[in-house]
Amino acid sequence: MKIAWYTPYSIDSAIGHYSNLVVSALRAQGTEVLVVRSENRTSDIRALPPTCRDESYAWAADLDRNPPAQLADYDLVVYNVGDHYDYHSYCFNHQAQVPGLTILHDFSLHHALYKYCMSAVPMVAGYREHLVAECGSEALDTYDRLVSDNNELQWWHHDMAKHPVYRWALEATSGVVTHAEFYRERVAATLGCPTTMIPLAYDSPLQDNATAGAAPATALGTAGKFRIVTIGAVNVNKRHETVIRALSASPLLRERCEFRVVGPIDDSARARLQQAQADSPQPIEMTILGRVDRVTLRQELEQADIISCLRFPALEGASASVIEGLLCQKPVIVCDTGCYHEIPDSAVYKIVLERELPDLIATLEDIVRRPQLAAQKAAHGRYWAAKRHAAPEYAQRLLEFAADVLYNRPVLNTFDRIADLLRQWDTPVDEVLMSRIDAAGNDLFRQRPSTTPTRRAA
């Protein structure tokens, strides 16, 4: 099989690092793959170095004049899609012209939709029009009310998660891979195409110099204070302020813990965290490192005692930070929601959202008081993550699903043509007619039962 693999590929992109792992695994299994960088032509992201300097790649912007002709020699185009327009802009633009298989990395695509509506793409409707078309009047009313009340941030930080959007970007897709079950069924119902769940493939910086099953370099807390580390871009949903409040509220945690924030951070986020620290009733120790290279990230993970991966709302399809923390054999703390709910309780510490602060305080104090038990949980988490998130298994399952998608593509195209004809004829919804179309679709899809595709709605 010959695949064109659209992906962001800058050194800052976790999806770029994932792509490097999976593309290597696909090639090892005999698949020919061209990496196509999907970053926006006008974005500063294009100036960043690639995640792998040895990889030869094409720029999607260079294929933009005629994507169908440029991609005609490929059996399949794979589009890695996430909720960041500048990282994925050509995935959105080219998929409408060359339908392919989508790997959906995020639970929803609201931020990308908003930026898409502000882009120079011709004939693009506004964000409100897309929102009501996909999610209905209730979602639009909520958005309009929050904007009118000068509380639009409430929408972007919380309420939009109740109304995920996909169709604007993926209506033409031939199939979708999700990285957790919690959003797969919603995607299938919205898009009416074959879907499957494959756990995200990822590794740890420590795997460069550690063998599978190896113990951490030091026992928890023996280097002095317990280091609590967060990894990744500093966003509101990562609950940094909750960690700050937990440390301030507990005499034990104030004495025994320090908090380190590792990952890209803008000026407003830095000011927000520094203000939260200054407002704490009791002083805590916090260090904001900002963006770091992979060598520094490896050092931070080696020296960490606890990895905080709290997220709410949970907008990710999967968490590279969780996988890195587990593979580094560190105690990992998550919110019991979204993709994190699907991780076994024996592998991570889970915080219940309704009692987030007291749960977090109790969990951190338990780790500090009983580091040996925490180390046992971390060891189990490493074993589980190493089996679940390996790139070779991911590549094999992806190729199996891709074969089914290619096999069923003519069926989906047939239903698209039927739907277009029914719209052109202004055919009223008739239960008998729809039942007959549905039965015919079942018969066609039943020919290859290794996945369970759904049919596009007419």
Q: Indicate whether 32 and 78 sit together in one domain.
A: yes
Q: Is residue 272 part of a domain?
A: yes
Q: Does residue 436 form part of some domain?
A: no
Residue 216 has pLDDT above 70, yes or no: no
Asked if residue 321 is part of any domain, the answer here is yes
Please indicate, yes or no, if residue 371 is contained in any of the structural domains: yes
Q: Are 383 and 300 in a shared domain?
A: yes
Phi-psi region of 224 (alpha: psi -120 to 50; beta: other; left: phi over 0): left
Residue 227 lies in a domain: yes
Residues 299 and 347 in one domain: yes
Q: What is the CATH classification number for the domain harbouring 329?
A: 3.40.50.2000
Residue 148 lies in a domain: no
User: Same domain, yes or no, for 212 and 70?
Assistant: no
Is the confidence at residue 457, as pLDDT, over 50? no
Rounded Cα distance, 330 and 173, in Å: 38
The domain in which residue 303 lies consists of 205-388
Q: Is residue 323 in some structural domain?
A: yes
Query: Could you give phi then psi for residue 209, rounded to 5 degrees?
Result: -135, 30
Q: Is the pLDDT of residue 446 over 90?
A: no
Residues 177 and 323 in one domain: no
Average pLDDT on 150-156 reads 95
Q: Let me know: does 343 contact 373? Beta carbons within 8 Å.
A: no
Same domain, 191 and 251: no
CATH of the domain at 92: 3.40.50
Asked which of 135-144, 393-402, 423-432 is least confident by mean pLDDT, the reply is 423-432
User: If pLDDT is split at 50, 70 and 90, which confidence band does 45 have?
Assistant: confident
Q: What is the rounded average pLDDT of the residues 74-97?
A: 96
Same domain, 177 and 292: no
Residues 362 and 268 grouped into a single domain: yes
Is 78 part of any domain? Answer: yes
Taking residues 323-347, report their average pLDDT: 96
Mean pLDDT of 240-265: 96
Torsions phi, psi for 75 (to 5 deg): -70, -30
Assigned token pair, 158: 């919380």
- Report the predicted TM-score, pTM, of the whole model to 2 decimal places: 0.88
